[in-house]
Structure 1
């Protein structure tokens, strides 16, 4: 006996007819009659009294109907609980991002998450790649939106988009507006993080591939805002995603030059802890992030980016 048997039994009890039950369930009358006979044989009792007007429950049938209706309610409540749980979302949700990504995404993402999951306690975290990787390893984060590191370590990831990386300089540092060859970075004083993640590793990887030594003017482990301020104060130049200097470039406080020969890009991905399966509610949040990223790229709010649906040929990617 299983839940299907009890569901069919309850249906016959409700209609009082094998033929009507067969019609409503889209089955043959002989199939319904045979299954009821097998159920009676298994239980060793008669469940229905047959007559020319249909079938009626015996005393033992009335008893079994109580169990069948209880099971039906239980299954219905279980389904509703699962669906409602998914609609409510996770009780707590922690999402991290690197500074440029956080500035672009977190505002709209916060509005969308609160509209869809008003009961969820949402926490946003901004951090450098090394900090986010450590927290992913510790299991402190549900999701992160970050540049794919050279060595992903304790994270699983799903690539969202690819983003241009450019040389950022004071407004009068370069004599023309053209792109800058990667090899020229060896002659430009750079402000970079000290940690061997992110942009520092990107530049060191480019240097190793193209035969130059980075000229490190300053090491800055603060925010991108601080790095940009140091460039404005003419302490050096830096390399950053094009999207991170849109406002300063438009105001003439900084200039942004594409890096070429090869074009330098980094992939942005949704990441989650290595040894953790993604719960259904968190998976839905990840899809919201993907949809938001596509909108931001499509309407120009995330400049210098391309959504990744397949591998882009003709470009050299430095996953720094």
Structure 2
């Protein structure tokens, strides 16, 4: 039993005869007869019989007709709903972001989206990459800004920008040099997220490739708590500079670009492959990409301006820790 068999059966009943149904559907009578016969064979009961005036339903045919009309109406409603979903606007959105991204993107993005959609209901979900990937797949969130990895390749992922990571320390230590060679990192006490965090995984993978073993002094899965530990001179963090710009401007933290080689992370904007993207959601994606471009730093970062010699180097942090 398939949908076409049911559709033709219903049309024959409603038209009152095979000949009239054939005219309405633009099909031949033998084609309609074959579909109804296939339906009777599949159900193992006669559904209708012909008389001189057209067709008459059997008891089984009457029951099937009642169910079939309801089924076809529900299918038509579902089809219309899906088409409207893929063509329609947007009245709400749940956007996921990792903590370091949320610190710099949430407020400017909210301003941009409310300016474009004054009545939109926004929800921002902050979580680690792994959780965001799961929630994106099961429909808990609509789209997410993620750090690119193998898992994001299974999504509709559009590149946004690449961040270069900085060594972050307490301002109590004095200014850092504009750049810190990666070879100095193993000598520093670090405050990093636990190993289930994408940032920790990427930092350790990068360090292993450089033949380094990092000194993880403390683990902290809360960005705000991590920064408090660093401000309290309990160790150094590795973060994108944009995520700590407020603390730097407030004189609480200092940073230094990690070089030789750079430690970089790529951000993507991801939507699930198992759901259609409406025109409204597509516009939302475009607005987010535009906002990210506004936050993007140049490909060659602007380093600290020339000034007096630094009073302390990253390698000296360990000596006073």
**Would you say the 8 A contact 1:160–1:290 is kept in 2?**
yes
Q: Determine helix, strand or coil for the equivalent of 1:152.
A: helix
Cα distance in 1 between the residues matched to 2:122 and 2:164: 30
User: Counterpart of 1:231?
Assistant: 230
Give the aligned partner of residue 38 of structure 1: none
Shift of residue 154, structure 1, vs aligned partner = 5.2
User: Retained in 1: the 8 A contact 2:175–2:254?
Assistant: no
CA contact (8 A) 1:194 1:200 kept: yes
Alpha-carbon distance in structure 2 between the residues aligned to 1:239 and 1:271: 25
2:289 is the counterpart of 1:290: yes
2:90 is the alignment partner of 1:90 = yes
TM-score between both structures, scaled by the size of structure 1:
0.61
Q: 2: CA distance between counterparts of 1:134 and 1:237?
A: 31
Q: Distance in 2 between matches of 1:138 and 1:183?
A: 42
SS in 2 for 1:275: coil
Deviation at 1:92, TM superposition (A): 2.9
Distance 2:273 2:248 in 1: 38
Q: Report Cα offsets for 1:21-65 as digits up to 9, x if no partner.
A: xxxxxxxxxxxxxxxxxxxxxxxxxxxxxxxxxxxxxxxxxxxxx
| Map of 1:317 onto structure 2 | none
Q: How does 1:149-298 map to 2 (within 5 A)?
A: 149=149, 151-152=151-152, 155-173=155-173, 176-222=176-222, 224-297=223-296
Q: In 2, distance between residues paired with 1:93 and 1:133?
A: 16
Q: Cα distance 1:108–1:253, how it changes in 2: closer, same or farther (>3 A)?
A: closer
Task: Quote how far apart the aligned CAs of 1:278 are.
Answer: 2.3
Inter-partner Cα distance in structure 1 for 2:99 and 2:161: 16
Residue 30 (structure 2) aligns with: none
SS at match of 2:164: strand
Tell me if structure 2 keeps the 8 A contact 1:137–1:154: no
- Work out the CA distance in 2 between the residues paired with 1:136 and 1:118: 25
How many positions carry a matched residue from both structures? 219
Cα distance in 1, alignment partners of residues 207 and 112 from structure 2: 41
| SS of residue in 1 equivalent to 2:255 | strand
> Which whole-Å CA distance do the structure 2 matches of 1:179 and 1:150 have between them?
30
Following TM superposition, the consecutive aligned residue runs of length 4 or more in structure 1 with deviations greater than 6 angstroms are none
Distance 1:143 1:305 in 2: 26
Give the secondary structure class of the aligned counterpart of 2:281: helix
Asked whether the 8 Å contact 2:176–2:254 carries over to 1, the reply is: no
Aligned counterparts of 1:287 and 1:176: Cα–Cα separation in 2: 38
SS in 2 for 1:195: coil
Contact map agreement 1:143 1:270 (CA 8 A) in 2: yes
Following superposition, the deviation at residue 261 of structure 1 comes to 0.6
Is the contact between residue 163 and residue 306 of structure 1 (CA under 8 Å) also seen in structure 2? no
Alignment deviations for residues 105-138 of structure 1 (CA, whole Å, 9 cap, x no partner): 2223223323333443321112222321221232
CA positional deviation for 1:232? 0.9
List gaps (5 residues or longer) in structure 1: 1-77, 298-303, 308-320
Q: Distance in 1 between matches of 2:150 and 2:249?
A: 32
- Equivalent-residue separation in structure 1 for 2:268 and 2:210 (angstroms): 26
Deviations 1:122-166 (A, max 9, x none): 211122223212212322111111322354265331011111210
> Do 1:168 and 1:255's aligned partners in 2 also have CA atoms closer than 8 Å?
yes
2:293 match: secondary structure: helix
Per the TM alignment, residue 292 of structure 1 is displaced from its structure 2 partner at its CA by 1.7
Alignment partners' CA distance in 2, 1:157 and 1:280: 17
Using the size of structure 2 for normalisation, the TM-score is 0.61
Confirm or deny: 8 A CA contact 1:164 1:305 kept in the other structure.
Answer: no
Supply the RMSD in Å over aligned alpha carbons: 2.8
Determine the C-alpha separation between the residues in 2 that align with 1:186 and 1:178.
18
C-alpha distance in 2, partners of 1:174/1:201? Answer: 29
**1:218-266 alpha-carbon deviations (Å, 9 max, x no partner):** 11112x1211111011221110001011122223211101000111221
The answer for the alignment partner of 2:137 in structure 1 is 137
